[in-house]
Every structure is written in structure tokens, then in C-alpha cells.
């Protein structure tokens, strides 16, 4: 009999598949503070409305493992094996532009306001290497991605514009369990990038 990780029993109004697992980059506290200040300024200058992400939830998604009714231990184990298989050096990532992405068709009032991420070949290599490792353990991986950090969701579109550049050194990546509908993240594991 296959076991499941029954971490939560408070279903409420959560989606049918409320347990999400994904790999991401999490900026350090100083970078999160700078990102939050940019968000504060944009909301003030442009009189934006919407839901801001809490500072501790700011991240750059790398690979989506999946959404599940219950998070099965074999999926969690496979994701951890994929993460463990990745080996590369730290690298710099930067954000120089902000813009709104198109919302999902049924969520027109929830346009994501994002910082566009740049990490050069190193970021692309991390994404690709992680995807290959996921495939080797039987998980599906995305073939491409658009690196970004979501600041908020709201009804007003913001055209692309330059911001004061934010740079940070990516020293690790994490596997996150997200409780959809409850806006809660749990770091399942973290892997350092070593020199």
C-alpha cells in the first residue's frame, strides 16, 4: 500500500489538488527587503490595488514538480533525489525590470506583477540540470521557463519599466511544499551551490 504524507487536515475551500511541490530560489533577507521596498514604491506611485506576497514567500520558481490531492512520500523522495543530484557553483542573479504578466483567463483581476530575472548561462544551466535530474527519477520537468519574482496580484496592468537593479548571489535552491489556498510554504529541503 502506497503511503501519503498527510500533513494537513484543514481542507476548507482549498483546491481539489491543494498540495504543490516545486523547486525555487529564495533570496536572502537583504534582497527581500529591497524587493519589498520596490513593491511599496510601485504601489504608492501607481496607486495599485491587489494582494501583495509576504516577504517570506518571495521566490523565483525553477521547476514545478506537481499539484496533488495528497503529497505522496514517493514523489517527495524522488524530488529530493533530483535536488541532491544537482551540483554547480554559486552565481549572480539580477532584476532590472518590472511588469505585469497576463492573468489566467478566469482570473482577470489577478494580474501578476513581477520582477524579471536575469541569471545568464548559470541560471539556465541550473534549470536545465535540475530538469534532467527530475526526468531521471521519473518526474516531469518543464522544457523552458521565464525567470521572475512575483510581487503581487491585482487588477491593474503595469507596463514593463526599468527599476534600480537588484542583485543577489544564488547560493542554494530549495524544494517547497505549498499549501494552496492557505498561502503557506514549508521548505522541505535545501541544497547549497558550492565553489
Of the candidates 82, 35, 86, 83, the one whose C-alpha atom is nearest the C-alpha of residue 57 is: 35
- What pLDDT score does 11 carry? 45
Domain spans, the chain: 17-192
DSSP the chain: ---EE------TT--SS-EEEEEEE---HHHHHHHHHHHHHHHHHTT--SEEPPGGG--EEEEEEEEESSEEHHHHHHHHHHHHT-----EEEEEEEEEEPPPPTT-TT-EEEEEEEE-HHHHHHHHHHHHHHHHHTT----S----EEEEEEESS----EEEEEEEEEE-EEEEEEEETTTTEEEEEEEEE---
pTM score: 0.87
Q: What is the pLDDT of residue 7?
A: 42
Angle at 172 between CA 170 and CA 173, to 5 degrees: 105
pLDDT tens, position by position, 8-17 = 444 456 557 6
Domain 17-192 has CATH 1.20.1600.10: no
Q: Which of 54-63, 74-83, 99-108, 136-145 has the lowest mean pLDDT?
A: 99-108
18-34 residue pLDDT tens: 888 999 999 999 999 99
Q: Which cell numbers in the block locate residue 10? A: 484543514
Amino acid at each position: 500500500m502506497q503511503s501519503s504524507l498527510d500533513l494537513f487536515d484543514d481542507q476548507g475551500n482549498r483546491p481539489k489538488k491543494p498540495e504543490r511541490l516545486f523547486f525555487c530560489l529564495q533570496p536572502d533577507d537583504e534582497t527581500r527587503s529591497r524587493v519589498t521596498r520596490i513593491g511599496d514604491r510601485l504601489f504608492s506611485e501607481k496607486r495599485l490595488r491587489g494582494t501583495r506576497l509576504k516577504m517570506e514567500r518571495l521566490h523565483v520558481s525553477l521547476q514545478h514538480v506537481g499539484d496533488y490531492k495528497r503529497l505522496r512520500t514517493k514523489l517527495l523522495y524522488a524530488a529530493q533525489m533530483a535536488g541532491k543530484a544537482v551540483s554547480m557553483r554559486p552565481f549572480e542573479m539580477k532584476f532590472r525590470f518590472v511588469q505585469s504578466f497576463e492573468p489566467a483567463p478566469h482570473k482577470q483581476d489577478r494580474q501578476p506583477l513581477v520582477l524579471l530575472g536575469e541569471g545568464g548561462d548559470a541560471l539556465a544551466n541550473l534549470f536545465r540540470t535540475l530538469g534532467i535530474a527530475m526526468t531521471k527519477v521519473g518526474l516531469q520537468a518543464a522544457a523552458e521557463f521565464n525567470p521572475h519574482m512575483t510581487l503581487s496580484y491585482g487588477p491593474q496592468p503595469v507596463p514593463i519599466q526599468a527599476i534600480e537593479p537588484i542583485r543577489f548571489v544564488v547560493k542554494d535552491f530549495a524544494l517547497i511544499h505549498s499549501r494552496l489556498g492557505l498561502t503557506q510554504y514549508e521548505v522541505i529541503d535545501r541544497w547549497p551551490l558550492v565553489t
